[in-house]
Structure 1
């Protein structure tokens, strides 16, 4: 089948990874996918911020003006999508949801095409809580409107699906599809010992974190915990990534006299992350919003690492405490420290949890190619006829 994949993402981060891997998965399954999206900034950040002119607008425009600009952008996005639809004559539209983005619904109605909407967060809730909204009423109304107009809606967790139902989305149109991994990225990896040697961490017990480090990740807590560990444990924190909290974490380590037990790789190409992460003995999934499906969690599972994560419902959808992860109570002031104590002191527990982590990917079918097949089946259920497509079109 032929699909227009529509989104508003112009950055190089976890969002772009999801987009690229889903497109790759659909194409690998024989479908033609045309991307309708803004151009990716050549220096688009992996910093978690907004790339290029979007970041400039956010900085200089008052919030009400910026939000109205987002609504107005829907007209630009619609014209781009309409051109793609006229050229490709697709069987359906797949859209990555974003707040104030109405173009997908307009195209669905104008061209009478099925619309499948991928939703990674309740953006009206998230931005009101973290980024600030000047027009929360409008944001919530438009979010409900778009969600209710989609033919199928794909939240990344059941927690998010339950929220959708609570605001009036028909549960029969909802199917949970979490994040996943590309198995090709986890082939021919070094051993843990080889990865440690490359980083100069031979003989150390490595606690690892992957991603963009922010204040709420509280890696300063990890450094304080490391400072209490006996020298015999030789515990080291390895952060694969960078972020605004880096200077604070490094200052904390220096104050505690444990700077030699902390390493940052800085930003690295995404294809290098799995090989570097093989150095981990324990992988940290820090506190996060209750509806999220974090990419790094699936990568930790694919690597077969002993995962420490908060005990919360979205993690229960993937993890089982004591079986394939060690879950700690986020309301316990020493929760993550107790979890690290347990895994550090018991190598056998680490090995058992690690051994079962990789099985989760296989048992739950958590690869992008498998997710792409689920999406194609949903289009078929909506009446799209699967037909051969010329290889040149793909």
Structure 2
């Protein structure tokens, strides 16, 4: 049933990994024959930095926390009116919603129109905001989160770790289906060779350690800089960061202090379609420590590029990676964990080659493409539609 009419609903207004996921899923749905209508706020196309700026960031910075959360909840009414209007025009078969905290509109629309609701979950927002940003109304946040999750026909967490969390909050296990991030295969066709990519960046002859993403303090790329400067054994290494971020100035300052400023480079923000060709210059690809439930986009890109991946040893990575087979994992709690892994990989070209070859096979073996994900979601939507039809015919 690939001719479904899908109403894609989200509240994302920034240009970052969130928007990448949204755009790729919409493109994949359309590629397999679905008609997709989109209900969303206006996206700030000027912000390509990876931050969450724009009008949302402005409102958040101006309002006290308790008022901002009430404004988020009130926005559900705005979103609901938008959904009602679009449903009346587009006549969708299903609502597909990217979950966000205090966003109740999808459930309201489901109840009014009797449409199936599928909710994609990328993070446990109530827990995350309580832990990192604080919540003025934590009980209201928990209620809103559980209200959406429990009223969806299916919820699609991006990792098994997150799925277990969702089930632990009372969502029936048979309505929880893990759909991780993925890649679009055509973006990885016709790429330059490693040597060609290095030549374009004037890095010929260097052993390139690469990182892709919005660089923050907790990525601790300063550790990589200090490791590179620690011994003449590593004088051929170069740290290449594709992206930008608030930690860039500190990393560049660290490189100057360590006397290796010429061996650290940032591309700055680049268009997403340009990233694979630049990333081909990597010999070693870094996935730094992150929250235990995440499905990091760059990791899928590293796999598609057949890179020797270094990543933290944590459960969400075990869902994709096998240590010493398609990656080398390190203990994120070890002060020398990533350094020891880099010692191994930089000193052993055969190990790098073996890891790279196996990494390149993961995407196909686990079917980690947006198209495959779209097909799975359409199958779930068709099942939900059939169940609702059976209910109404009784």
For residue 12 of structure 2, the aligned residue among 2, 6, 9 is 9
Aligned to 1:105: 107
User: Partners in 2 of 1:214 and 1:136 — Cα distance?
Assistant: 26
* CA apart distance, 1:106: 0.5
* CA apart distance, 1:233: 5.0
* CA apart distance, 1:166: 1.2
SS at match of 2:120: strand
Question: Equivalences for 1:1-394 in 2 at 5 Å?
Answer: 1-50=4-53, 52-230=54-232, 233-384=235-386
User: Partners in 2 of 1:111 and 1:316 — Cα distance?
Assistant: 40
Does the Cα contact within 8 Å between 2:14 and 2:45 map onto a contact in 1? no
Aligned to 2:392: none
SS at match of 1:237: strand
Does the Cα contact within 8 Å between 2:49 and 2:245 map onto a contact in 1? no
* CA apart distance, 1:45: 4.1
Deviations 1:34-88 (A, max 9, x none): 01001112313433223x2211111110000000000000001111111111001
Deviations 1:137-168 (A, max 9, x none): 11111111110010000000000000111111
Deviations 1:269-297 (A, max 9, x none): 11100000000000000000000000000
User: Partners in 2 of 1:141 and 1:149 — Cα distance?
Assistant: 12
List structure 1 segments (4+ residues) > 3 angstroms apart after TM superposition: none
What is the TM-score normalised by the length of structure 2? Answer: 0.96
Give the alignment's Cα RMSD to 1 decimal. Answer: 1.1
User: Partners in 2 of 1:313 and 1:14 — Cα distance?
Assistant: 21
Does the Cα contact within 8 Å between 2:289 and 2:312 map onto a contact in 1? yes
Distance of aligned partners of 1:239 and 1:141 in 2 relative to their CA distance in 1, 3 Å threshold: same
- Aligned residue pairs, count: 384
Does the Cα contact within 8 Å between 2:229 and 2:235 map onto a contact in 1? no
Deviations 1:239-268 (A, max 9, x none): 000000000001111111111110000001
Flag structure 2 segments of 5+ consecutive residues without an equivalent.
388-394
Distance of aligned partners of 1:87 and 1:222 in 2 relative to their CA distance in 1, 3 Å threshold: same
What is the TM-score normalised by the length of structure 1? Answer: 0.96
User: Partners in 1 of 2:69 and 2:216 — Cα distance?
Assistant: 25
User: Partners in 2 of 1:38 and 1:8 — Cα distance?
Assistant: 6
Flag structure 1 segments of 5+ consecutive residues without an equivalent.
386-394
Aligned to 1:389: none
User: Partners in 1 of 2:267 and 2:290 — Cα distance?
Assistant: 22
Does the Cα contact within 8 Å between 2:15 and 2:52 map onto a contact in 1? no
User: Partners in 1 of 2:144 and 2:34 — Cα distance?
Assistant: 31
Does the Cα contact within 8 Å between 2:121 and 2:155 map onto a contact in 1? yes
Distance of aligned partners of 1:179 and 1:94 in 2 relative to their CA distance in 1, 3 Å threshold: same
User: Partners in 2 of 1:329 and 1:41 — Cα distance?
Assistant: 38
Does the Cα contact within 8 Å between 1:118 and 1:153 map onto a contact in 2? yes
* CA apart distance, 1:113: 0.2
User: Partners in 2 of 1:131 and 1:287 — Cα distance?
Assistant: 19
Deviations 1:214-244 (A, max 9, x none): 0000000000000013256501100000000
Does the Cα contact within 8 Å between 2:8 and 2:96 map onto a contact in 1? yes
Deviations 1:288-310 (A, max 9, x none): 00000000000000000000000
